Amino acid sequence: MTTRTMQFRIYRYDPDKDDKPYLQDISVEVDATDRKLLDAMVKLKAKDDTIAFRRSCREGVCGSDALNINGRNGLACLTDLKDLPEPVVLRPLPGLPIIRDLIVDMTQFFKQYHSIKPYLINNDPPPETERLQTPEEREELNGVYECILCACCSTACPSFWWNPDKYVGPAGLLQAYRFIADTRDQATSERLDNLEDPYRLFRCHSIMNCVDACPKGLNPMRAIGKIKDAMVRRAV
Amino acid sequence: MKITKRTFDAVIVGAGGAGLRAALQLSESGLKTAVLTKVFPTRSHTVAAQGGVAASLGNSEEDHWHWHMYDTVKGSDWLGDQDAIEFMCRKANEVVIELEHYGMPFDRTDAGKIYQRPFGGHMSNFGEKPVRRSCAAADRTGHAMLHALYQRNVRANTQFFVEWMALDLIRDAEGEVLGVTALEMETGEIVAFQSKATIFATGGAGRIYHSSTNAFINTGDGLGMAARAGIPLEDMEFWQFHPTGVAGAGVLITEGVRGEGGILRNSSGERFMERYAPNAKDLASRDVVSRAMVTEINEGRGCGPNKDFVLLDITHLDPKVIMQRLPGIREISIQFAGTDPIKEPIPVVPTCHYQMGGIPTNYSGQVVAPRGSSMSVAVPGFYAAGECACASVHGANRLGTNSLLDLLVFGKSAGETAVEDVKKSTKAHKDLPQEAIERTLERINRLDTQRDGAGVHESRLAMQRTMQNHCGVFRFADKLKEGVSKILDVQKDVQRTVIKDKSKVFNTARIEALELENLIEVAVATMISAEARKESRGAHVRDDAPDTAERPNGRDDQNWLKHTLWFKEGNRLDYKSVKLTPLTVPTIELKKRAY
């Protein structure tokens, strides 16, 4: 099988032994069966087992292997190797504290996700059967429920970089809309109250990096717009 | 050495579907509960399930739990325990409706009810014709389910220990389970978790094979821990090869594709399943379809330059149906096969997918093991659910959509049983035996100090290739025998793996080495159990047990209608009988399995 050598430049930092971060130049042989960046990274790890990164499903549904790849956020398992200019520069997602190498501390990201009460609120006694929803009502959730919480969007957002503690960020807001849009949820007004604040929602300045970064093709900005619409509607 | 100890009423290991469902029972009951998970909960492999969860809701046509039960027993090739199967099929509607109430975004029928699609082996009226039983959220049912369960746990304030890997089961001299030792990945610290109830929901170990639909994290950690603590593993020879993994990549393409009308074709474009399963055709049970595909390829009717795959064709479907019901499949196909299924068929091959065997349990979720003259005595303090457990509802072959059902039903029942047991117990936590903790520290210490030895990557590859070549879709007596000695050789290497990374902080090399120690237990159990079972049944088909008039499909009920139990100590095998008596209905009598 024909192989080729690919050059990588990887952000390295192990607080256990390094005083400061550095970029490691390393190459690896890839063949035709290595379609995705993650395939090459697994081979890199076989060569140097100290390179640390997260990965799991390798098919773009678990959201573990989000990285900054040649300056753009994306999932290693969905990034085609053949399109990547070399050296391929791999860095951790921007704006979050770094634990080690390509592994970031996502505490703040999940804190914002949890802050929007990401669960269905319906205080009626549950019926014997399912709560009914028309196919059209259910369709409102398409493009929203598919979020994999990889954080590519929020960590591409300058507003989130500046105020990760106060601005919910595109991922959290997309999920806030997921519950506002769900006809089974009864807490729309409470959810809007929770976002009506100079920071939580309104730090979105429509920069659109989130839309560009989402590896699942979702559109957090559209959801943010819909939340703003709902606020305007209830104000008038 | 002394290590930090943390004390809880209950500890759950794993936060996939089964772990999260069990966690809800415990959190909502007010017990002090810890959920340990190697990955953030929504990254667990339940997220990758696609086609649906079985329940005889009858939203689109008449259905009945008893028909579902019949299909499951038949699908299991009569190796499933009929009490557990009745329990699961009867509970299906309840747990699916609960999930809907939690917020699961199921697709809907025009009447606003949960959308249901046909799936392999699910039939109406005791095997007559395919029925719509699979409750689906497009082709992302697992994702929708896992997120809904996680979200419900956020509401219930469940306490998660994220990126903690459990290392060993703590058991005392009387055999009682008292908790686990675990590694905090971020700091490298080892902590003992003391608990009155320990629930394993650690998922499968599909990574023992080279070509697998499973995630990297599916390393059989619960099975390795149980085996090292003297608990046997049940029916490990039975592995499901899913008919439609993307050729080369191994990524799953749901059976729901065939449920929506997809057809398998060979190199001449023939719909070959008509020859193998005249009634159910492409919707026959998974073992049947996988064998048919391998037979087509072996007989020269495969596709592509090397004639090594077949085609899954949906080009005749309305693109609107594909976009609405199978959007994830289209995405996967474009990403990993380089084809748009609206225009071209998808190249597929049977790929290791699911472990039917596991830690033996009863239908209440208690782990059971031989004691004295009885083969199934509950191990005090120990529970298991989901793919890591063997209840046994899947027997020799699982039906599609029964795995998501399994983890809901048994996650819940294991949780309920644990709550009951903890609440009625009046005694304090027992002291933790130092030996159990030492065992963990020795494993860690070995990896820290080992200076030369075998590579983790190389040993894992040797294991995966051995399993793939010696214990695949079709099995051969001589290959299995050779496989046993090869896998025992690999096991020796695994005991002397060396890692370069000695850091305390998020040491993924160490985690992979520890995972390999679990995988190898599963691989050895599988090969030894498979070599010993001298019949063909469900997913286990041998060349020396062919289809004859006396033994249809090569099944030998006289000698082999029994569960295998493998013990790590001495690689000993034992057997226990199959429970043929259901809870309330008559036994589903043995007969030849045909679709």
The residues, ordered by sequence, that sit 6+ positions from B583 with a Cβ below 8 Å of its Cβ are B83, B86, B87
C-alpha torsion angle, residues B418, B419, B421, B422 (rounded to 10): 110
Q: Calculate the dihedral angle through the C-alpha atoms of A165, A167, A172, A178, rounding to the nearest 10 degrees.
A: 150
Q: What is the pLDDT of residue B2?
A: 79
pLDDT category at A236 given cuts 50, 70, 90 is confident
Nearest CB among A14, A118, A146 relative to B505 is that of A14
Q: HSE (CB half, 13 Å, CA atoms) of B479?
A: 16
Distance CA B341, CA B335 (A): 11
pLDDT in the model for residue A2: 84
Residues of chain A with pLDDT > 90, as a percent, come to 97
pLDDT of residue B426: 87
CB atoms A53 and B155 under 8 Å: no
pTM of the model: 0.97
Confidence bin at A89 (pLDDT 50/70/90): very high
Residues forming a β-bridge with B160: B35
- Tokens 């699982």 correspond to B398
Q: What is the structure's pLDDT at B575?
A: 98
- What's the pLDDT score for residue B204? 97
- What's the whole-number mean pLDDT along residues A209-235? 96
Residue A35: list chain B partners with CB under 8 A: 249, 336
Cβ distance of A58 and B215 shorter than 8 Å: yes
Residue A145, chain B, CB below 8 Å: the answer is yes
Identity of the residue in B103, B252, B509 whose CB atom sits nearest the CB atom of A49 = B509
Class of domain A3-104: alpha beta
pLDDT tens column, A52-80? 999 999 999 999 999 999 999 999 999 99
Please give the DSSP secondary-structure letter assigned to residue B60. Answer: S
Under 8 Å between Cβ of A128 and A101:
no
> Length of chain B in residues, anyone?
595
> B47, B65, B223: which is closest to B137 by C-alpha?
B47
Chain B nearest C-alpha distance from A32 (Å): 10
Residue A146: what pLDDT? 98
Active site residue B286: yes
Nearest-CA distance A107 → chain B (Å) = 10
Mean pLDDT across chain A: 97
Domain A107-235: give its CATH superfamily: Alpha-helical ferredoxin (1.10.1060.10)
Nearest Cα of chain A lies from the Cα of B541 at a distance, in angstroms, of: 29
Locate the domains of chain A by residue range: 3-104, 107-235
Q: Which DSSP string corresponds to B201-238? A: -----GGGSSSBSS-TT-S-HHHHHHHHTT--EE-TT-
Chain A: residue whose CA lies nearest to B45: A57
Contacts of B517 (CB under 8 A, 6+ apart): B224, B443, B494
Write the CA distances from A210 to A157, A220, B64, integer angstroms. Answer: 6, 7, 47
Q: Chain A 81-100, CB below 8 Å of chain B: which residues? A: 99-100
Task: Tell which of B40, B139, B146 to mutate to test the A interface (max A CBs under 10 Å).
Answer: B40
- ipTM (interface pTM): 0.98
CA distances from A89 to A35, A81, A83, A86, A99 (A): 17, 12, 13, 8, 19
- What pLDDT sits at residue A235? 86
Phi, psi (degrees; rounded to nearest 5) at B323: -65, -30
Cis peptide before B211 (omega within 30 of 0): no
Q: How far apart are CA A186 and CA B112, in angstroms?
A: 18
pLDDT in tens, chain B (595 residues): 779 999 999 999 999 999 999 999 999 999 999 999 999 999 999 999 999 999 999 999 999 999 999 999 999 999 999 999 999 999 999 999 999 999 999 999 999 999 999 999 999 999 999 999 999 999 999 999 999 999 999 999 999 999 999 999 999 999 999 999 999 999 999 999 999 999 999 999 999 999 999 999 999 999 999 999 999 999 999 999 999 999 999 999 999 999 999 999 999 999 999 999 999 999 999 999 999 999 999 999 999 999 999 999 999 999 999 999 999 999 999 999 999 999 999 999 999 999 999 999 999 999 999 999 999 999 999 999 999 999 999 999 999 999 999 999 999 999 999 999 999 998 899 999 998 899 999 999 999 999 999 999 999 999 999 999 999 999 999 999 999 999 999 999 999 999 999 999 999 999 999 999 999 999 999 999 999 999 999 999 999 999 999 999 999 999 999 999 999 999 999 999 999 999 999 999 999 999 9
The DSSP code for B334 is I
Nearest residue on chain A to B506, alpha-carbon basis: A100
Out of B155, B505, B512, the one facing A15 most closely (by C-beta) is: B505
